Structure 1
Amino acid sequence: MTYDPLDKVIVVTGGASGIGYEIANHFLQNGAKTLIILDINEDVGVNAVKTLNDKYGKGKAVFIKCDVSKDLEKVSEEIFQKYQVDVLVNNAGILNEDSFRKTIEVNCIAVVDWSMKFWEYSRKDKGGRGGTIYNVASIYGYQHVPWAVFYQTSKHGVIGFTRSLGHPYNYNKSGVRVIAICPGVTATSIQAGNKWDWQLEGIENVIKNEVIVQTPETVGKAAVEIFTFAETGTLWVKENDEPIKLAPMC
């Protein structure tokens, strides 16, 4: 089965910059009807939407200020009243090893909450039109390394959720596909997040000597490519500027 971004209405959380912005950019480049960008940073979000509208046409991109961990009910109601949403991209995330709770709230709980809101809205067995939930996970959602412990924990949760909700049994009932991309180390602002001080040397060594740091643009392009063919419940890896591939089972 193939999936076409053409004329789709797509919501991207954390879409004002980094990977989220590039996912939005490449969806519009491939014919999406409307891109709704949710982000906590209003100034960056407004500028991002202006750039996209200048590039693709007035009204192609819309910005709504949103804290995904707090604003689900208010913002989702606003979106679903105005638009027929086809795709939800759960991209918003943080790296904060000072706070397990905040990391889990943003990276995992918010993903589940937004996904289930969209799932109930979209499921065909309840009168919806079907659609796609697209989660931005991480290679650290299935790898096991000694740093970014809370971040890894949150991304393991996203992967388990993607595979379970995206199981063909659920898809056949609901018509809602659930997939995920697992980026490797990418040059985004999340790299500046708080980390445990004794891990810094090891992290810096990995970034300097063991991996190729990707650009958000290459990940965004790969994410939209994956969208066109990925089967429900599958995870796709984009790391070291290599071609996309299926993630290993874990």
Structure 2
Amino acid sequence: MENDPKDKVIVVTGGARGIGYEIADQFLTNGAKTVIILDLTEPVGVKSAFTLNAKHGKGKAVFIKCDITRDLDKVSSEIFEKYEADVLINNAGIIDEFSIRKTIEIDCIALVEWSMKFWEHWRTDRGGRGGTIYNVASIYSYEFDPFTVFYKTAKYAVLGFTRSLGHPLNYEKTGVRVIAICPGFTDTVMLSVKIWDIHREASEKNVSQIKVQTPETVGKAAVEIFKVAKTGDAWVAANDEPIHLAPMC
């Protein structure tokens, strides 16, 4: 049943817009009980929850203002007290090639900290009910080119973390599945990235030659992957092509 979205309570970081919002929408479309949207931008988060409730029914979406780098203990305690969460989707992320600390903190460290908080809460060997940690990685967690160096560093770490924590041995002990989706180029605000001047011209040319998919495409792929992924798996959703397992590095 862990692979069935029906009646699941889903927590989505960075869920107010872009890929996170579409993932929330698609999980509700596929029968999720509730989505809890965590985001730093309150006006956008409130509007997103309102829109999802209008579409899927009253109480289907809940917004909680959250800075994932600071509010872990406060917000996770609220979630554990009020909801029986089944899935944590670590979606929040940035591309800022002028701040290595900010990029690593948001894209990697916060993701690991949120994962471990839910992992410990859900561990069946310690009285928990099990669950799924679902990390939004990137094709840049296994591919490389000269651009977005800090972003790739973080995403490589996310993939290694997913495959290590999600190892079958850990799953057998704890009952917590850990999986990842690796989206390709997607039409979100992250395409307007802060990159090094030496990369700007070549990067813009590179992006102009690549097929850019919609966030809705990634949202649908995310649910499809959720249904089939085994613990430790990382699946690719890129170029509007069918989903497939990411290569092992």
Q: Shorter-chain-normalised TM-score: which range?
A: over 0.9
What is the SS of the residue equivalent to 1:128? Answer: coil
2:237 is the alignment partner of 1:245 = no
Q: What is residue 34 of structure 1 aligned with on the other side?
A: 34
Stretches (4+) displaced over 6 A: none
State the TM-score, normalizing by the size of structure 2: 0.99
Q: What is residue 128 of structure 2 aligned with on the other side?
A: 128
Query: 2: distance between equivalents of 1:240 and 1:30?
Result: 23
Q: What is residue 10 of structure 1 aligned with on the other side?
A: 10
Q: What is residue 73 of structure 1 aligned with on the other side?
A: 73
Q: Please state how far the C-alpha of 1:177 moved relative to its aligned partner.
A: 0.3
Query: 2: distance between equivalents of 1:203 and 1:243?
Result: 26
Query: 1: distance between equivalents of 2:18 and 2:139?
Result: 17
State the TM-score, normalizing by the size of structure 1: 0.98
2:156 is the alignment partner of 1:141 = no
Q: Is residue 2–residue 229 contact of structure 1 (8 Å, CA) maintained in 2? A: no
2:227 is the alignment partner of 1:228 = yes
Q: Kindly tell me: are residues 233 and 100 of structure 1, through their superposed partners in 2, closer, same or farther at Cα, counting changes over 3 Å?
A: same
Q: Which amino acid aligns with 1:67?
A: D
Query: 2: distance between equivalents of 1:7 and 1:116?
Result: 24
Q: Which amino acid aligns with 1:237?
A: V
Q: Is residue 2–residue 131 contact of structure 2 (8 Å, CA) maintained in 1? A: no
Q: Please state how far the C-alpha of 1:2 moved relative to its aligned partner.
A: 6.7
User: What is the aligned residue count?
Assistant: 249
Query: 1: distance between equivalents of 2:234 and 2:111?
Result: 16
Query: 1: distance between equivalents of 2:149 and 2:2?
Result: 36
Q: Please state how far the C-alpha of 1:107 moved relative to its aligned partner.
A: 0.2
Query: 2: distance between equivalents of 1:92 and 1:3?
Result: 22
Query: 2: distance between equivalents of 1:43 and 1:191?
Result: 22
Structure 1 stretches lacking a partner, 5+ long:
none
Q: Is residue 123–residue 175 contact of structure 1 (8 Å, CA) maintained in 2? A: yes
Q: Please state how far the C-alpha of 1:201 moved relative to its aligned partner.
A: 1.2
Equivalent runs, 1:74-93 vs 2, <5 Å: 74-93=74-93
Query: 1: distance between equivalents of 2:29 and 2:146?
Result: 38
Query: 2: distance between equivalents of 1:174 and 1:194?
Result: 40
* Cα root mean square deviation, aligned: 0.9
Query: 2: distance between equivalents of 1:202 and 1:132?
Result: 39
Percent sequence identity is: 67
What is the SS of the residue equivalent to 1:129? Answer: coil
Q: Is residue 25–residue 52 contact of structure 1 (8 Å, CA) maintained in 2? A: yes
Q: Please state how far the C-alpha of 1:208 moved relative to its aligned partner.
A: 1.1
Q: What is residue 44 of structure 1 aligned with on the other side?
A: 44
Q: Which amino acid aligns with 2:217?
A: T
Query: 2: distance between equivalents of 1:56 and 1:11?
Result: 16
Q: Please state how far the C-alpha of 1:207 moved relative to its aligned partner.
A: 1.2
Query: 1: distance between equivalents of 2:115 and 2:86?
Result: 12
1:18-70: CA deviation from partner (whole Å, max 9, x where unpaired): 00000000000000001000001111100000000000001000000001111
1:66-116: CA deviation from partner (whole Å, max 9, x where unpaired): 011111011101111000110000000000001000000000000100000
What is the SS of the residue equivalent to 2:6? Answer: coil
Q: Please state how far the C-alpha of 1:178 moved relative to its aligned partner.
A: 0.3
Query: 2: distance between equivalents of 1:237 and 1:174?
Result: 26
2:213 is the alignment partner of 1:214 = yes
Q: What is residue 58 of structure 1 aligned with on the other side?
A: 58
Query: 2: distance between equivalents of 1:234 and 1:132?
Result: 12
What is the SS of the residue equivalent to 2:169? Answer: helix
What is the SS of the residue equivalent to 2:67? Answer: coil
